[in-house]
């Protein structure tokens, strides 16, 4: 039997055709018509007027911060419950992250805690410059509240929407809009395990055209528009290639199918594991629609009689990949000196949570196998 991966690339004939057409046109690199088209198409999906393709989601976050003027001596609040790239991007700029815990209702940044931190900092006159807020596992954070709080304290909001392409959320005006449209700008990732992939790549979207153009300029070695390689800024080589953009266009065409499939996978896990003692699932926040990038279960070992390690091990024995939820950044050795405000919510999620195979190419038979193996772990 073949290995079942957590979230493998799911590509088909459309991607192959578009990729080969780009190849045959000799628009290999660096830029070209597929990149321009992919940027426009992704901007539409995210409901934003401007987009720039970059070499990864991490590169997108990094340039976003640089273009917004974040640098040495600045502080940036970051969701502690995330993948390390969110925090690394802050450190690349010379700024320091402050890690903030999750709320139980969405597993995303806790707005009450955000308010508490900012209130305290305002009194001492050192309000952090920006908030990098993560939309975890394909579900938007509570932007109705977070946007208001950032406005109140004059904090720049940046959205790490790497996992949330095609999801929706609700801002302070009560309108449901796509992930990526809540902050000053947002970054998406097309890494191999994300809901769509270009093998590696990312995109920054935003409402401010000059900010996006600034990022495009920084991503292209900060070359002045003259022929003799004139530089007035430190630049980066962070552009997405035209070939990969062609692949991305094919993926994006199938995004609605991929979301539908991932949502169905999550629903099947809920339905067929929900009766097991001690099992619960990622919350479905009321303010939008998750893309269900990864299906996550929580296992309360005191009730279940088994823990997440036992489930992970049973699946691994059958060549099935599963992963613990993100280990919070405030627990990471590399960030041991960073400031943080935590409540124990993300610590608990890390202790009890497991991501199950969730790829849009996962067959119903394979999912049934995964479910059967998990059920067998429970004491009968």
Q: Which residues contact ligand PLP (rule: CB under 6 A)?
A: 56-58, 82-83, 85-86, 134, 160, 162-163, 189, 191, 202
Q: Output 161 or 377, the one with its CB closest to ligand PLP.
A: 161
Provide the strand spans (E) within the chain: 50-54, 75-79, 96-100, 130-134, 156-160, 168-170, 176-178, 185-189, 202-206, 279-281, 295-299, 323-324, 339-341, 353-356
User: In angstroms, rounded to a whole number, what is the distance separating the alpha carbons of residues 118 and 113?
Assistant: 9
Minimum CB distance to ligand PLP, residue 275 (Å): 31
Q: How far is CA 42 from the centre of its chain?
A: 15
- Find the residue with minimal CB distance to ligand PLP: 57
Q: Output 9 or 307, the one with its CB closest to ligand PLP.
A: 9
Burial status of residue 35 (CB atoms within 10 A of its CB: 0-12, 13-18, 19 or more): buried
Q: Output 57 or 248, the one with its CB closest to ligand PLP.
A: 57
Minimum CB distance to ligand PLP, residue 36 (Å): 20
Minimum CB distance to ligand PLP, residue 226 (Å): 32
C-alpha dist (Å) from residue 366 to 2, 262, 375: 10, 14, 14
User: In angstroms, rounded to a whole number, what is the distance separating the alpha carbons of residues 269 and 253?
Assistant: 26
Q: Output 86 or 93, the one with its CB closest to ligand PLP.
A: 86
Provide the strand spans (E) within 217-256: none
Minimum CB distance to ligand PLP, residue 203 (Å): 10
Minimum CB distance to ligand PLP, residue 82 (Å): 5
| C-alpha closest to that of 147 among 188, 103, 181, 99 | 181
Minimum CB distance to ligand PLP, residue 305 (Å): 32
Minimum CB distance to ligand PLP, residue 34 (Å): 19
Q: Would you say 295 and 267 are in contact if contact means Cβ atoms under 8 Å apart?
A: no
Q: Output 244 or 246, the one with its CB closest to ligand PLP.
A: 244
| C-alpha closest to that of 92 among 41, 143, 47, 56 | 56
Within a 10 A sphere around the Cβ of 192, how many other Cβ atoms?
14
User: In angstroms, rounded to a whole number, what is the distance separating the alpha carbons of residues 296 and 292?
Assistant: 9
Q: Output 46 or 279, the one with its CB closest to ligand PLP.
A: 46
Q: Output 83 or 287, the one with its CB closest to ligand PLP.
A: 83
Q: Output 329 or 377, the one with its CB closest to ligand PLP.
A: 329
Minimum CB distance to ligand PLP, residue 194 (Å): 6
Q: Output 219 or 306, the one with its CB closest to ligand PLP.
A: 219
C-alpha dist (Å) from residue 55 to 42, 67, 183, 243, 255: 15, 16, 21, 12, 20
Minimum CB distance to ligand PLP, residue 61 (Å): 6
Q: Which helix (H) or strand (E) holds 92?
A: helix 84-92
Token pair, residue 247, equals 């692949």
| C-alpha closest to that of 353 among 312, 318, 302 | 312
Q: Output 56 or 340, the one with its CB closest to ligand PLP.
A: 56
Q: How far is CA 100 from the centre of its chain?
A: 17
Minimum CB distance to ligand PLP, residue 190 (Å): 6
């Amino acid at each position: 039997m073949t290995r079942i991966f957590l979230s493998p690339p799911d590509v088909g004939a459309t991607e192959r055709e578009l990729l080969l057409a780009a190849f045959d046109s000799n628009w290999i690199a660096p830029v070209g018509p597929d990149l321009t088209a992919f940027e426009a198409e992704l901007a539409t999906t995210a409901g934003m007027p401007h987009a720039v393709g970059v070499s990864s989601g991490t590169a997108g976050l990094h340039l976003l911060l640089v273009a917004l003027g974040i640098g040495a001596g600045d502080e940036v609040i970051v969701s502690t419950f995330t993948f390390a790239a969110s925090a690394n991007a802050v450190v690349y700029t010379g700024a320091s992250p402050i890690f903030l815990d999750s709320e139980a209702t969405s597993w995303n940044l806790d707005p009450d805690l955000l308010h508490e931190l900012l209130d305290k900092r305002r009194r001492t006159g050192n309000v952090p410059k920006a908030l990098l807020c993560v939309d975890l596992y394909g579900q938007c954070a509570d932007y109705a509240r977070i946007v208001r709080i950032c406005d109140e304290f004059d904090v720049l909001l940046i959205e790490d929407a790497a996992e949330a392409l095609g999801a929706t959320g609700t801002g302070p005006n009560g309108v449901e809009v796509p992930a990526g449209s809540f902050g000053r700008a947002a970054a998406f990732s097309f890494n191999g395990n994300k809901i769509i992939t270009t093998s590696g790549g990312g995109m920054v979207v935003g409402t401010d055209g000059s900010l996006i153009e600034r990022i495009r300029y920084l991503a292209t070695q900060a070359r002045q528009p003259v022929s003799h390689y004139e530089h007035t800024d430190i630049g980066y080589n962070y552009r997405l290639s035209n070939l990969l953009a062609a692949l991305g266009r094919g993926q994006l065409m199938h995004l609605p199918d991929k979301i539908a499939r991932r949502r169905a996978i999550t629903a099947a896990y809920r339905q067929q594991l929900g009766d097991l003692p001690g099992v619960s699932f990622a919350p479905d926040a009321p303010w939008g629609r998750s893309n269900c990038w990864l299906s996550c279960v929580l296992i309360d070992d005191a009730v279940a009689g088994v823990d997440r390690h036992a489930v992970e091990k049973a699946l691994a024995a059958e060549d099935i990949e599963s992963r613990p939820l993100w280990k919070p950044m405030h627990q990471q050795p590399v960030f041991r000196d960073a400031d943080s405000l935590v409540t124990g919510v993300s610590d608990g999620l890390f202790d009890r949570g497991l991501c199950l195979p969730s790829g849009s190419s996962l067959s119903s038979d394979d999912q049934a196998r995964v479910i059967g193996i998990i059920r067998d772990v429970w004491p009968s």
